[in-house]
Amino acid sequence: MLELQMLLVTEGLAPKLKAPARLAGELSLACDMEVYPRSIAGHGRVIYFLARSRYDRHLGLVYDALAVPPSAQDFEGTPETYDVQGVRVTVKLCPRSAANAAALRARLPFLVPRCMGLATSVGLGDRLGLATPGHVRAVAGSGLRPFFAQQSIREMTRTGRSPHEVLDDAMWGVFQEGFRDGFGSDADHLKTTEDIDACVAAGFTLFTIDPGAQVDDGADAAPAAQLPGKFAALPWDPLETTAADCRAAYAGKRVEVEAGLTLEATEADLLRAAAKYGRAIAHTVRLYRHLAERKGDQPFELEMSVDETASPTSPFEHWFVASELRRLGVRWVSLAPRFVGRFEKGVDYIGDLAAFEASFAQHAAIARALGPYKLSIHSGSDKFSIYPIAARCAGELVHVKTAGTSYVEALRAIARVAPELFREILDFACEHYEADRASYHVSAELGRVPRIAHLRDAELPGLLDQFDTREVLHVTYGSVLNAKRGDGSWRFREHLFDALRQNEEAYARVLESHLGRHIDPFRKG
């Protein structure tokens, strides 16, 4: 039976075609666009596919022209009738609108984000909305659970995207590549109930609570005489305990976490840990309960993150935070401590690897004992030296988050296909770096960025391997994407997006190679 006929008669979700290229070729001729072969899927007597024109991508539907399925009416688009493989069919080309995205998810369940559980996972943030095809290729066959939709509210604000747009962009990339193994969606670094509400409405599945503003970093180095006052001033009612009960639960208690790791906190240790993290715990509980109420009986996952703070999280502090969250009824799948060393954006780990391994192993033991839950490595982009350590110490209980590296690698692709545009972007980034670095922990110096005027075009992609250039480009993405000319037109955005769309294979190959280096140390089998 011809592939087209096979898909048109199916009432359920069709399996992947063994040889979709022929059908894709015939559909390409019919609609005068390039059809992505891996996107072809059938459901309820309709074939769905993604096609590209010179400037955009379009959703396509194919169905029997003489027996129109009711579901085809749920999509906005323009129908035309053709003969394909000897069958009279209607081909309906549709915009990639929010309404059509929702209708497609209702027909193809593999396009709906899901909870990922405790398996090793990787977050693949996409600041441009174009990276998912490359992300899919990097993760396919690795055994890792991917989060193809991952964006913080800060990133959404700077890129001018909504939570719905972040999810839809990832979904179209998954559809294009025909990835059917399941993916998650991470609403990252949420700080308010309003942030949560927006991401619940969009359909995110993992919610990363960031109570960093409530962490008292000063407590880490505060004189011992100040700690009792900080401790007494904690919000004990929201914490649903008393200062006396908290002292009795932890001070002087010896805990055998596992063989080789025993924790025994003095009263000073407890006062310091509670003063540092008490308000962050209360804030997390409040947001978690709000989230649980909003989600109702819908499944969701939670991560708690305190990585964007000045001082590392000690093993006892980790134990204290996790124990208090458990006492207060919070359920979570991953937790991001502030690890030792420096996790700067888009570059490798900076610090003593032996010290990191010793500390990470202790955190992994606590995560096994009090969970199990995954240790989440934030600012995880390009931390190649620590991935083997994390895999060795934590086994499967690891989640690695990447975000800006896919934007920086987009600029590597631009350096190859549009070198003059890359030169302009780098010059602009250098002008705005000092202002943009304020919200990041970075150490790049403009004086160490190579002078681009002295480089040939063929040398430009190599700049993305240079520490200072990489960080400068990483943290200035918001300024680059939002820069406008005097007449109000975009200075870079449209040219950048057009170049990446017209060279999408080049960008996908760059991402597949670069993100593959992140994934390989955790690859299963």
Q: Three-state SS string across 220-275, please? A: HCCCHHHHHHHHHCCCHHHHCCCHHHHHHHHCCCEEEEECCEEEECCHHHHHHHHH
User: Is residue 16's pLDDT more than 80?
Assistant: no
Alpha carbons 203 and 164: distance in angstroms, whole number: 8
Residue 213, pLDDT score: 96
The model's pLDDT over 338-394, given as tens digits with 9 standing for 90+, comes to 999 999 999 999 999 999 999 999 999 999 999 999 999 999 999 999 999 999 999
In 98-250, where do the E strands start and end?
121-124, 145-152, 184-190, 206-209
What Cα–Cα distance (Å) separates residue 406 from each residue in 46, 500, 506?
34, 12, 13
**CATH superfamily assigned to domain 111-215+273-405:** Aldolase class I (3.20.20.70)
More confident residue, 383 or 83: 383
The model's pLDDT over 17-45, given as tens digits with 9 standing for 90+, comes to 666 888 999 999 999 999 999 999 999 99
Residue 78, pLDDT score: 96
pLDDT bracket for residue 13 (50, 70, 90)? very low
The model's pLDDT over 318-333, given as tens digits with 9 standing for 90+, comes to 999 999 999 999 999 9
Closest by Cα among 48, 42, 33, 38 to 1: 42
For 484, which DSSP code?
B
Q: Is 303 a catalytic residue?
A: yes
Q: Is the peptide bond before 372 cis (omega within 30 degrees of 0)?
A: yes
| Contact status, residue 345 vs residue 382, Cβ threshold 8 Å | no
Alpha carbons 39 and 50: distance in angstroms, whole number: 6
Stretch 160-183: mean pLDDT = 97
pLDDT bracket for residue 85 (50, 70, 90)? confident
What Cα–Cα distance (Å) separates residue 507 from each residue in 130, 328, 409, 456?
9, 46, 8, 21
Q: What phi and psi values does residue 258 have, to the nearest 5 degrees? A: -165, 175
Q: What angle do CA 169, 101, 163 make, to 5 degrees?
A: 50
The catalytically annotated residue of 3, 188, 220, 471 is 188
Alpha carbons 404 and 359: distance in angstroms, whole number: 26
Q: What angle do CA 511, 513, 519 make, to 5 degrees?
A: 95
CB within 8 A of 416, min separation 6: which ones?
460, 461, 506
The model's pLDDT over 455-484, given as tens digits with 9 standing for 90+, comes to 999 999 999 999 999 999 999 999 999 999
Strands 57-64 and 87-94: antiparallel
* pTM of the entire predicted model: 0.96
Strands 184-190 and 206-209: parallel
Q: Is 88 exposed, middle or buried (0-12, 13-18, 19+ CB in 10 A)?
A: exposed
Residue 3, pLDDT score: 64
Token code pair at residue 353: 């690897």
Alpha carbons 204 and 89: distance in angstroms, whole number: 36
The model's pLDDT over 124-157, given as tens digits with 9 standing for 90+, comes to 999 999 999 999 999 999 999 999 999 999 999 9
Q: Is 188 a catalytic residue?
A: yes
Alpha carbons 125 and 185: distance in angstroms, whole number: 10
Alpha carbons 247 and 28: distance in angstroms, whole number: 70
Alpha carbons 40 and 477: distance in angstroms, whole number: 34
Stretch 175-200: mean pLDDT = 98
Residue 438, pLDDT score: 92
User: Is residue 9's pLDDT more than 90?
Assistant: no
Q: What type of residue is 196?
A: I
- Which residues pair with residue 398 across a beta bridge? 375
Token code pair at residue 197: 């509400």
| Contact status, residue 511 vs residue 134, Cβ threshold 8 Å | yes
Closest by Cα among 411, 419, 484 to 131: 411
Stretch 61-76: mean pLDDT = 95
Q: Does residue 169 come out as left (phi exceeding 0), alpha (psi in the -120 to 50 range) or beta?
A: alpha
Average of per-residue pLDDT values in the chain: 95
The catalytically annotated residue of 303, 308, 409, 471 is 303
CB within 8 A of 423, min separation 6: which ones?
452, 460
| Contact status, residue 122 vs residue 403, Cβ threshold 8 Å | no
Supply the Cα-derived Rg of the chain in whole angstroms: 25
What residue spans in the chain does CATH classification 3.20.20.70 cover? 111-215+273-405
The model's pLDDT over 403-458, given as tens digits with 9 standing for 90+, comes to 999 999 999 999 999 999 999 999 999 999 999 999 888 999 999 999 999 999 99
Alpha carbons 221 and 434: distance in angstroms, whole number: 29
Residue 15, pLDDT score: 52
Q: How far apart are the first and last CA of the chain?
A: 37
For 82, which DSSP code?
E
Instruction: Find the helix or strand (DSSP H, E) in which 476 lies.
Output: none
| Contact status, residue 52 vs residue 21, Cβ threshold 8 Å | no
pLDDT bracket for residue 7 (50, 70, 90)? low
Residue 14, pLDDT score: 46
Residue with tokens 């407590």: 219
The model's pLDDT over 266-317, given as tens digits with 9 standing for 90+, comes to 999 999 999 999 999 999 999 999 999 999 999 999 999 999 899 999 999 9
The number of C-alpha atoms within 13 Å of 64 and in the hemisphere containing its C-beta is 14
